[in-house]
Amino acid sequence: MSVDGWNTLLVLGGIRSGKSEFAESLVTDAPTVRYVATAPEGDPADTEWATRLAAHRARRPGSWTTEETAADPGRLADVIATAGPNETLLVDDLGGWVTVLLDPAHQPADDTATIAALAAAVRASAARLVLVSPEVGLTLVPTTPLGRAFTDALGSTNQAVADACDAVVLVVAGQPTWLKPAGPPPHPAEPAQAGPGQAGAPAQVPVGAAPIGEAEQALPDVLTPDMAPPLPAPEPVPAPGWAAPTMGLPTVATGLVIQPGMELPMPDDYAGPQAVDRLVTLDIPGAGLGVLDRVVSFAAATQGTPTPVPWSSVRVLLLHGDHAGGASAGAAPGESARRARQARAGKGALARLAAESRASLQVVEAPASAAIEDGPALTADEVESALRYGWRLAEQAADAGVQLLVLAACGAGTEAAAAAVLAATAGAEPPAVLSRVLTEHNEFDDAAWMVRCAAVRDALHRTRRNARDAKDVLAELGGGDIAVATGVLLGATARRIPVLLDGPVGVAAGMVSRDLAGQARHWCLLPDHGGQPAVRLAADVLGLTPLVDLRLDLGEGATALATLPLLRSVLALAAGLPVHPSLGGGEDDEEFVEPEPAGPGPTTTEPEFAEPEPPGPGPTTTEPEFAEPEPAGPGPATVEPDEPVAVPDSPGRRAD
């Protein structure tokens, strides 16, 4: 097949859009094809219709067989249901099937039940199945009752069949646009946790490190936090739509196609502003949340609701990939590998912060990158493999119910690679975006900084005549960790998972991903720039405003984890606080009531929680608990037991 990864496919298109030719091209290499014709023969005097049918028949190879279902619309479901797994069926088209379904000769009938039966047969089909149908949702509402009945029935049929199919494609002017992909390949089950070198620890397979198939590359194991007591289990909530698969690109035999101009989902345009407007109605003392209202807006937009909830399931992806050559000047040999091993063992700053935040941690081995001043950092095949690998990591997280990803990195030379990417994509000067080199002894090494600047300068000079498209930038300058991070951002965007960026690798991936899918940057949040010039520049270009200015320097990803409890607290306040009483919010008026001042006469015992008044000259009586006392007259007042007390008409008189 020309497109792989599906078993049932719906091809939609308008009149003369090329939908039938496209559908036929998908099954041309099948050994046998059964063509299911649904349209009636029509009026013999209608020569134009007869010519159309003849053109369709002429395109079919002689090896194809034809089956007619126009006599009975219910038979189409039977044909699909009885087809074997070695058969290929091409149904052309559902518009003719609906025409027969609405024919008075087949009425009265339960059209809804017939459509449901067809969808059920498609969903359970064992055969390779391609269905063609006209798309009627883009035209005007017909002016006749029969026309409206046809469009309504065909629209319902298209929706039901599209939901049942593995993939859906819309053909416009002969150009296919994929609306629904085939289901993602099954991910291997996450293995039981084992430390490095222990039995059961999965081998780390760097992307592109060996000529093996994509399906053979095992995803790294996920470390769950065990250093802090677990939080109480949250109340079950309906599965949010923002975690559903939304990717609209085809998959071919070599894997997912990642290409410029991908149409990925955007956050909700309305939920964010609605959430901010809702904040001003809450019972919050003082001026409110300040700049942190952007957290509420971001969470609302990415969750698709004006009342977002704190992220309960968070995963940290720690990318480890070293860069050779001058990019890693000043880095201690083996230091990044030690940091990665430390994180796998649940030790070190990043692992401890992840445990405190109840976030899982996944250490990802990215392919090593060659010296960019001498040649490309990666081959084109390694870039494709790294992008798909990052996408799969995001898919795995989404399938596990993760609601927020944190990008972290610990490779040698990542700052220089990110500076090269920024220089190529944003026109930055390398010395202006390269931070000073800090050695393992906490000393600045300006000589190593100059070597890094020279490496980036030479790499940019070497590639000055090259194309500046996203994949070329990754291959020539970015390297393995930035390529994997780019795939993570794209995959997270497709699955509607927000991402916290925190460092040069994350923002460099954001710069590259905007040229592949401009929607990706809208799913990113930058808690802090960390005082790094590269992060500041990229944040300006991507439109990301940092929330805090902590100036932590604990490695990429650590600042995001340090701010995560604050972000969760803000969302908890926004979700849990009631509306202010002045705007109609509820309040308990029974307690803490200010008592009325007592009169000059004898006073009564005040309700509980009220401060008693000084006793008057007369005897004191006891009122019922929480009852508001009436002012007493100048004479002593008495209370008859078990009898109601009337309000005095005037001071000094007692009601009889």
d(CA 417, CA 402): 29
| CA 188 to each of CA 184, 185, 191, 366, 395: distance values in angstroms, whole numbers, following the listed order | 12, 9, 8, 19, 12
β-strands 404-409, 251-252: how paired?
A: unpaired
Alpha-carbon dihedral angle through residues 383, 386, 391, 397, given to the nearest 10 degrees: -160
Q: Report which secondary-structure segment, H or E, holds 9.
A: strand 8-13
Q: What residues contact 461, with CB distance under 8 A and at least 6 apart? A: none
Give the span between the Cα atoms of 630 and 608, in whole angstroms.
Answer: 16
Q: CB under 8 Å to 278, separation ≥6 — which residues?
A: 306, 307, 574
Q: How far apart are CA 612 and CA 597, in angstroms?
A: 10
CA angle 557, 381, 265 (to 5 degrees): 55
Closest residue by Cα to residue 505 from 637, 577, 416, 405: 416
Q: Which residue has the tokens 């993939």?
A: 167
Question: Would residue 556 show up in a list of annotated catalytic residues for this protein?
Answer: yes
Query: What gap in Å lies between CA 537 and CA 520, rounded to an integer?
Result: 18
Ordered alpha helix ranges (H), 497-643 = 504-516, 533-542, 558-576
CA–CA separation, 61 vs 79, rounded Å? 21
3-class SS string, 186-220: CCCCCCCCCCCCCCCCCCCCCCCCCCCCHHHCCCC
Output the six-digit token pair for 111: 């059209």
Token pair of 248 as six digits:
């609209």
CA distance 10 to 630: 80
Query: Measured on CA atoms in the order 552, 557, 559, 561, is the torsion positive or negative?
Result: negative
- The Cα 115–Cα 161 span in angstroms is 8
CA 69 to chain centre: 43
Q: Which of 190, 556, 590, 596 is catalytic?
A: 556
> Can you state the angle between helices 480-494 and 414-426, rounded to 10 degrees?
70
Pick the closest to residue 476 from 491, 458, 450, 489 (CA basis): 458
Q: Which of 118, 135, 123, 192 is nearest to 169 (CA)?
A: 135
For residues 491 and 519, the answer to whether their CB atoms sit within 8 Å is no
Catalytically active residues, by annotation: 556
